Chains A and B, each alone.
Chain A
Amino acid sequence: MYDTIIIGGGPAGLAAAVKAKKLGLKVLLLDENEFLGGILPQCIHPGFGLHYFKEELTGPEFAHRFIREINELNIEHYTNAYVLEIENYSDLEKKVVFSSPEGVKEVWGKTIIYAAGARERHAFEIGIVGDRVAGIYTAGEAQTLMDIYGVMPGKEVVIVGSGDVGLIMARRFALEGAKVKAVIELMPYPGGLARNVMILRDFEIPLYLSHKVVEVRGRKRVEKVKVVKVDENLKEISGSGFWIECDTLLISAGLIPNVKLLKKIGAQIDPLNGGPIVNELLETTIPGIFVAGNALLINDLVDYVAEQGELAALGAKEFIENQGIPSRKWIKLKRGSNVRILAPHYISGERDVYIYARVSRPMENVRVTFPEIRKELRLPVVKPSEMLRIKLKAEEIQKAGKEITMEVEKGEV
C-alpha cells in the first residue's frame, strides 16, 4: 500500500511527488505520456519559474529540475501508465487501476493526489459551424506538433482567443515565417498577460476585440473563416460578418479541468471553476483524495501549480498521520462581486492559506475586501487573465463566523 498515489506527471504532480517523498511518504507517480513533465516539454518559451526558482526558465527547463529530483530521490514512477479508474474503497483505502505496456495493474494507496491537468476546448464546443476539414487545431495540439515533433501546421493562421496560449502561439507561428492574419477575441479586452499581449504589436498582428469566429469553410483544408462582431452582451451584431482567408484555424478558447475520473466517483465539482470543491489542504469532498494544478482550477502561472502540488502533499501527510483530516469547524469561502473563480472552498483558521481567485471583468483601482474579517487590500488593476493569490493569515480567518466573502470592487479615488 502506497501512502500516496499521484496521478499526473506535470508540474503539479511532480512537485507533489518530490514534496511527499521529502515528507517521508511512500510515493507512486503515474503518467500516461512517454515522458514526465505534462505539457511543459511543449512550452519552449520562457516565463516559467520566476516565483518558484526566482529565475526565468523555459517549460522543459522547469520540468527538468523536478524530474532530476524525482530521479535523485528514487521516486517510483511509471510513464505510459494511463489511469482507467479510481475506486474509493473506503476513507482509508483507495484503488487505482491503470493500463501500461506491462499490463492492467491495480495499486492501492492511502491517499491520492489527482494532478491530471486540463483539456482544451475545441471548435465544436464554441459553436463553430461549417466544414469539418483539415487545418483546425487546438493551440496545444499545434504546439505539440511544432515544438515536440517539428511539424509546421500551416502558413496563414487565424487564432481564436487572446489568452496566453493563443498569443504565444501567434508569436511561435510568426517566428517560423507564417502569416498570422488575426487574433479574434470575444471579450472587449485581451485575455492574456500584458507581456504576452505585447507580442501582437511586436509582430504587427491585428487583434479583433469583441469578435468571434462562427464558421469555417474549405474543401479539404480550411480556406476561410467567418468573423462577426458582438455587442457588450456578447450578442452578434447582424450584418457585421466578414471572411478572412487562411489555411489554419487555431482554437485557443480556454481550458477545462480534466476531472472525469473524479466525477465518476462522486467528487463534488464547482461548476464555475470546473474543478472539484476542496478544503485548504486541497482535499476534495472524498476523504483522502487531493487535487492540484489545472485539475483544481485553471492557473496562469506554473509556480502556483507547483505550490498547489506541495500543499496537496502536505495534506496527504496530515491525512496519513491522523487517519483522515481532523474534523474542523470549516468556514466557507464565498464569491462576492466580480469574483468568478475561487478556491479553496473551505478554510479553518488553523493555518495561513493562499486563496486563488479570478475576476470576471477587468477593473482599475480596485479594493479587494473580505467584509466578515474586515480585511482589505488595494490593487491598481485586476484582469480575468491574472490569477489573484492572496494570503489569509490564520488569526484573520479566526475572526470569521460561518463564512468569508471575497469582494472585488472599484475603490473610491
Chain B
Amino acid sequence: MKTRVAIIGAGISGASIARVLSKYENLEVHLIEKNADVGWGVSKANTALIHGGYDDDPEKYPMRAKLCIKGNRLWHEWVKELEIPHIWNGALIVALRDEDFKELEGLLERGRKNGVPEMIIVDKEELFHLEPNLNPEALGGLWVPIVGQIGPIPAVIAIVENAVANGVKLHLETEVRGIKVEGGEVKGVETNNGFIEADIIINAAGLYADEISRMVGVNDFEIHPRKGEYWIFDEDIPGPRRVLFPTPTPKSKGVVVTTEISGHLMIGPNAQDLPKEEKENLATTREGLEEVWKKAKELWPNLPPRSKVIRTFAGLRPEPTGGDFIIRAEKEVWGFINVAGIRSPGLTSAPAIAYEVVEIIRRDLGINLVEKGKWNPYRKKITHFFMLQPEKANELVKENPSYGKIVCRCNHVSEGDILEAIERMKFIGVKTPSIDSIKVRTKATSGTCQGSFCRVRIARILAREYGVDLWNVTLKGKGSEIGIGDVKVLLRGEVE
C-alpha cells in the first residue's frame, strides 16, 4: 500500500517537495492549492534571487544558513533539468562608507562558516570593473559570484509540470479548511472540494502556515507579513550587470538594484511589518515606493524619470516567530510536517527544503522510501516565439500558423505561445482561465503597455479554448472576471 502524502500549498516550497517526493514508488502525492494556479502566493512577488548564503548567522538561524547555500548549489541542476529561465550574474554588496567594510568582513566570515565559495572583498578599482555604472562614490564591495536570478513563478510552474508528469496529483482551487487527526495521527484534510485522505500532511502554506498548523493544535509560532515593494522600468532603461546590494541592516538585506531576467531594471524591496491580520495586503503604497526610490538612488544615481516606470508591485514575506525556517515533523501529531516561516531566502532554499523533508520522512516518520524505476527529471520549456532564430521561427510557423500571429506587441508573444501555455495549464489542471496564468507562462502583458493592448486578445483566446463567455475570463481567478456580462446586461436589469 502506498503512503498518501498531502502537501498544502503550491508555492516554491510545496512544489519542490512534491517534485522530490514524486521520485518514490511507495508515495502517492497530492499537492493542494487554494488559488486557481500555482505560484500565486509569496512565490509570486519577490526579488527572484538565488542568494549566496553568506548572510544568515548559523547560530541564530541554522536552517536558513544550511539550506540557502545547499539550495543555491541544487538550483544549478534544477534550472537545467527543468529549463527554468535563469542567469548567474553574481552580486556586489556595496560599501558607500568606510564603516561598511567592517560589516562586509562580518559577512565574509559568516559566508565561510556557511561554506560559501568564491567570496572576495574588492577594492574600488575592481568594483568598477565589475559594475561600471555604480554610484561613483562607492568605495568597494563584497563580490559574490555564485548569486543568480530566476523567474520565480516560471520555476514553480516548471517544477509542478515535472511533478505532475511524474504522477503528482494537483488539486487547484482547493482550500484546506480543517485537518482530521485521530489517535494522534493525521487522517486527511477537509477542503471546499471534499475530504482528501492522507497519512502524511506537509504544511507549506506560506503566509498561512501558522493557521494550518493550528488546525492540528501546534501553535507555538505565528507568521506575520513583512511587505516589500518594487518598481520595474521600461526595457530600454540600462540597468546593472550584477545584482547590487547595499551593506545590510539587521532587518533586511536592503534595497536591491538589478536587471531582472527579462531585461528590465528593477529596484526594491523595502521592509515594512504589517499586523498579523493583513496577509492579503499586497497594495503598493506611496511611502514604501518613495523609500525604495530613495535607497536605490544611493547605489544607482541615474534612475530614469518616473514616466519610464511600467509597473509597481508588492510582496509579503512570511516572517515566523524566531526568524528561522520551521521545518520539522511535529511530535504530538504523527504525520504532520511543518514547512513554515519560509521567508527569504526561501526561493533559494526550496530544493534543499525538499530534500530536508525527505530526510524527515525517513528519519522521523520511519518510512522506508523506495525509488521509482523510471523517474523523469526533465521538463521542456515553453516556446517563446520572440526568442527564436528566424529559420527556427519559420519552421514552427509552417507546422502551426498560430505561431506567426503576434498577440502581445511589447514582448512579441504569439498566439502559438499562448495556445501552448493553455495546453500546459490544462495538463496540470488549471480550471479557471485567467490572464495572469498566461502572463507568467509567456510574458504577454508584462511589457511597456502592461497589457492595455493585448489583454482583450488573450482573453478571447482563453474564452475560445476553455469554452466560456468572454466576460467570464478572469484576471487572476474567480472574482476577477474581465466583465459582468454582455453589453446589454445592465439594461436588462440582470445585474444589481
Q: How large is the interface on B (under 10, 10 to 19, 20 to 34, 35 or more residues)?
A: 35 or more
- Within the complex, what minimum Cβ distance (angstroms) separates B110 from chain A? 36
Contact of B479 among A120, A155, A220 (CB under 8 A): A220
Q: How large is the interface on A (under 10, 10 to 19, 20 to 34, 35 or more residues)?
A: 35 or more
Please tell me if B485 contacts chain A, counting CB pairs below 8 Å: yes
| Alpha-carbon distance between A178 and B450 when the two chains are bound, in angstroms | 26
Chain A residues closer than 8 Å to B490, beta-carbon distance: 152, 155, 176-178
| Alpha-carbon distance between A119 and B451 when the two chains are bound, in angstroms | 11
Please tell me if B215 contacts chain A, counting CB pairs below 8 Å: no
Contact B449 A119 (CB under 8 A): yes
Chain A residues closer than 8 Å to B192, beta-carbon distance: none
Chain B residues closer than 8 Å to A82, beta-carbon distance: 405-406, 409, 412
Knowing A80-B405, A152-B487, A177-B491, say if A103 contacts B397 (CB, 8 Å): yes
Please tell me if A194 contacts chain B, counting CB pairs below 8 Å: no
Contact of B452 among A99, A101, A140 (CB under 8 A): A140
| Alpha-carbon distance between A24 and B47 when the two chains are bound, in angstroms | 57
Q: Hey, what's the 0/1 contact readout for A201-229 against B, CB within 8 Å counting as 1? A: 00000000000001101011100000000
Contact of B480 among A124, A133, A144, A153 (CB under 8 A): A133
Contact B481 A134 (CB under 8 A): yes
| Alpha-carbon distance between A256 and B488 when the two chains are bound, in angstroms | 32
Across the two chains, which residue of chain A brings its CB closest to B313? A132
Contact B482 A129 (CB under 8 A): no
- Within the complex, what minimum Cβ distance (angstroms) separates B264 from chain A? 12
Contact A134 B475 (CB under 8 A): yes
Chain A residues closer than 8 Å to B461, beta-carbon distance: none
Please tell me if A130 contacts chain B, counting CB pairs below 8 Å: yes
Across the two chains, which residue of chain A brings its CB closest to B460? A149
Knowing A151-B471, A151-B487, say if A129 contacts B393 (CB, 8 Å): no
Contact A133 B397 (CB under 8 A): no
When A and B form their complex, what is the total count of cross-chain residue pairs whose Cβ atoms lie within 8 Å?
Answer: 147
Chain A residues closer than 8 Å to B427, beta-carbon distance: none
Please tell me if B484 contacts chain A, counting CB pairs below 8 Å: yes
Please tell me if A127 contacts chain B, counting CB pairs below 8 Å: yes
| Alpha-carbon distance between A219 and B449 when the two chains are bound, in angstroms | 23
Contact A219 B397 (CB under 8 A): no
Chain B residues closer than 8 Å to A155, beta-carbon distance: 484, 490, 495
Chain A residues closer than 8 Å to B474, beta-carbon distance: 134
Say whether chain A's binding surface is mostly helix, strand, loop, or mixed. Answer: mixed
Q: Hey, what's the 0/1 contact readout for B439-456 against A, CB within 8 Å counting as 1? A: 000000000111011011
| Alpha-carbon distance between A151 and B307 when the two chains are bound, in angstroms | 31
Contact A130 B450 (CB under 8 A): no
- Within the complex, what minimum Cβ distance (angstroms) separates B107 from chain A? 33
Stretch in B50-58, B246-254, B277-285, B354-362 with 4+ CB within 8 Å of A: B277-285
Contact of A125 among B310, B397, B477, B487 (CB under 8 A): B310
- Within the complex, what minimum Cβ distance (angstroms) separates B271 from chain A? 17
Contact of A122 among B285, B393, B450, B485 (CB under 8 A): B450
| Alpha-carbon distance between A125 and B449 when the two chains are bound, in angstroms | 9
| Alpha-carbon distance between A230 and B404 when the two chains are bound, in angstroms | 47
Contact B283 A131 (CB under 8 A): yes
Contact B483 A145 (CB under 8 A): yes
- Within the complex, what minimum Cβ distance (angstroms) separates A171 from chain B? 14
Across the two chains, which residue of chain B brings its CB closest to A119? B449
Chain B residues closer than 8 Å to A130, beta-carbon distance: 283-285
Please tell me if A299 contacts chain B, counting CB pairs below 8 Å: no
Please tell me if A100 contacts chain B, counting CB pairs below 8 Å: yes
Across the two chains, which residue of chain A brings its CB closest to B472? A151
Q: Give the A-binding residues of B (Cβ under 8 A).
A: 236, 280, 282-286, 289, 306-307, 309-313, 385, 390, 393-394, 397-398, 401-402, 404-406, 409, 412, 414, 448-450, 452-453, 455-456, 460, 470-471, 474-491, 495
Enumerate 14 A-B pairs (CB-CB under 8 Å) in ascending A order: A82-B406, A99-B414, A101-B397, A103-B394, A104-B394, A120-B453, A129-B285, A133-B480, A152-B484, A152-B486, A152-B489, A177-B490, A219-B280, A220-B480
Question: What 8 additional pairs, Cβ within 8 angstroms, besides A151-B487, A220-B478?
Answer: A82-B412, A84-B412, A119-B449, A131-B282, A132-B313, A134-B482, A138-B452, A151-B483
Q: Give the B-binding residues of A (Cβ under 8 A).
A: 32, 80, 82, 84, 97, 99-104, 119-120, 122-125, 127, 129-134, 137-138, 140-141, 144-146, 149-155, 176-178, 214-215, 217, 219-221, 260, 263
The 3 A-B pairs of least Cβ separation, nearest first, read: A220-B479, A177-B490, A134-B480
